[in-house]
Chain A
């Protein structure tokens, strides 16, 4: 097996982050507010990284990612509230159930995914998220409806940080491994030019569905962790706003950049809590950041900058060629 510098650095970062956070928790050096942030950060990292697969690599806009999360959260939580198993096996099975249930919904959304793209697909994913929300509301006897599903065992709180942290690392690792493989290349080629991808023998339909199923699975897993942290689920926790927040993380992270998505997820989850009173301005800030980033990415300034860089690179290659 090849172990290169990058891998070593990544391992050091992961272990370092874990050591520091775990140290702070066991040393009791974190305020209650800070500890309450630890698990949400992990949840949003998983959400952002999985959405990154769809938006950044497949190049399709999904506005219903919170819908997949809610399917995972509810199905995992329902299992946890009814099982007699000890904590660890119960959580593992709940994660599997949550992920699989969400993946099934990913498969269902796969049908429109095959026939639509761009604006239309974005709207359908949005509608899909809303449909899931309505159905959860409607199934009151099972889900508790608008009042919420409560008394979920708190199995994935900051006290189980080690477990949640490992899980998050595994999710990130699995997603980035896919990206750097023949499967990931197939997905990315669809983003860049789906007609050429088909002509090069990529079964475009299968990979589109696969991407949505994988992303939905991990969103479901994140949902289970979320449920086990706050103990009560309400449909409003998974509305369109949540989907947008995750999208902002992916866009801010530089679409198609997994590390960027992670950093953006950490910052955007922590920031509003750290800067108290700024909560009112949070969504306003998000919207301004979204618009500004898109305008900047397509501005003449950025283009001139990129052109200069490309010219330099081309010049260098020319020299090497000679």
Chain B
């Protein structure tokens, strides 16, 4: 019975982390679908979101709800700016140039926050105050409940937006064929900006949930969850929105189980090992489509 309980507990932990990964993975997948690039700086938007929340709540003393909204705005604007300044001029450049630039942006964000907030971790208590719930002998924390609710709502909203709204249709068109979409009167630049804005907004939400759980701010805090979320996006099939959600949750559960039952040090190795295996066995991921290069 103890074992069952402990496994259940780990599954719930995994679901919580996994749904945060899924939120971040959505940003990767949307940007990849539309701009055909890996936005390496995406993970660092999480960090910016966490610090922004800290500034608004911890330093300026704003009401948490207003602070959350402001944080989302800050990250969205940042996402749009990064695209306009660093990525847009490189739309016709080689993938290598784009990737190196994205790495540069990621470093820029990390080091700016290092200069502003210094390298010492800043403790920052959670803004989420929801009592925990007991289900049988299982204790589910308030943060877990909030995380699950928020991610589920975000994902449903995003799916509806992409499938039902006009802007969502434009996004799908641009991701199929940028040139054709432009000829059909879709404003490609605006659509790409919107994609970065939504992706970054989701990253902001992920950042808020993440910091509520770990309660410590660090300039490099976004890097690892960012990379893991990328693994999740690949696992689910990059470019596929349901794939990102599925990949995130599977990855979170695997990580949580391997931390608990195999080794904490090896958990990262296992996560990356999965990435390598997925890419070798089914490079298109669980729900992705494979593209063939024309000769």
Q: Does A187 contact B (CB under 8 A)?
A: no
The CA-CA distance from A55 to B94 in the complex, in Å, is 13
A275 shortest CB reach to chain B, Å: 16
Contact assessment for A131 and B279 in the assembled complex, using a CB-CB cutoff below 8 Å: no
Q: For the complex, would chain B's binding face be called helix, strand, loop or mixed by DSSP majority?
A: helix
Compute the total of residue contacts between A and B using a CB distance below 8 Å: 127
Q: Does A124 contact B (CB under 8 A)?
A: yes
Q: Does A299 contact B (CB under 8 A)?
A: yes
Task: Enumerate B65-107 residues with CB–CB distance to A below 8 Å.
Answer: 86, 89-90, 92-93, 95-101, 103-107
The CA-CA distance from A286 to B114 in the complex, in Å, is 14
Contact assessment for B279 and A115 in the assembled complex, using a CB-CB cutoff below 8 Å: yes
Q: Does B143 contact A (CB under 8 A)?
A: no
Q: Does B115 contact A (CB under 8 A)?
A: yes
Contact assessment for B115 and A280 in the assembled complex, using a CB-CB cutoff below 8 Å: yes
Task: Enumerate A158-210 residues with CB–CB distance to B below 8 Å.
Answer: 195
Contact assessment for A131 and B86 in the assembled complex, using a CB-CB cutoff below 8 Å: no
Whether A127 touches B275, Cβ cut-off 8 Å, given contacts A119-B99, A284-B108, A287-B105, is: yes
B119 shortest CB reach to chain A, Å: 9
Task: Enumerate B102-154 residues with CB–CB distance to A below 8 Å.
Answer: 103-108, 110-112, 114-115
Contact assessment for B265 and A298 in the assembled complex, using a CB-CB cutoff below 8 Å: no
Which of B104, B268, B295 makes the CB contact (< 8 A) with A294? B104
Which of A112, A137, A294 makes the CB contact (< 8 A) with B101? A294
Residue numbers in A under 8 Å from B106 (CB-CB): 287
Q: Does A295 contact B (CB under 8 A)?
A: yes
Which of A118, A244, A284 makes the CB contact (< 8 A) with B115? A284
Most buried by B among A127, A137, A286: A127
Contact assessment for B269 and A138 in the assembled complex, using a CB-CB cutoff below 8 Å: yes
Q: Does A8 contact B (CB under 8 A)?
A: no
Residue numbers in B under 8 Å from A283 (CB-CB): 107, 110-111, 114
24 A-B pairs in the complex with CB atoms less than 8 angstroms apart: A61-B100, A111-B280, A112-B280, A116-B279, A116-B283, A120-B234, A127-B275, A127-B276, A130-B227, A131-B268, A131-B272, A135-B266, A135-B269, A138-B266, A244-B103, A251-B100, A281-B115, A283-B110, A284-B112, A286-B104, A287-B111, A290-B104, A290-B107, A297-B93
Pairs A-B, 9 closest by C-beta atoms: A290-B104, A127-B272, A287-B107, A134-B269, A284-B111, A291-B104, A287-B108, A298-B93, A294-B101
Q: What is A's interface to B at a CB cutoff of 8 Å?
A: 55, 59, 61, 63, 111-112, 115-116, 118-120, 122-124, 126-128, 130-131, 134-135, 137-138, 145, 195, 240, 244, 247, 251, 280-281, 283-284, 286-291, 294-295, 297-299
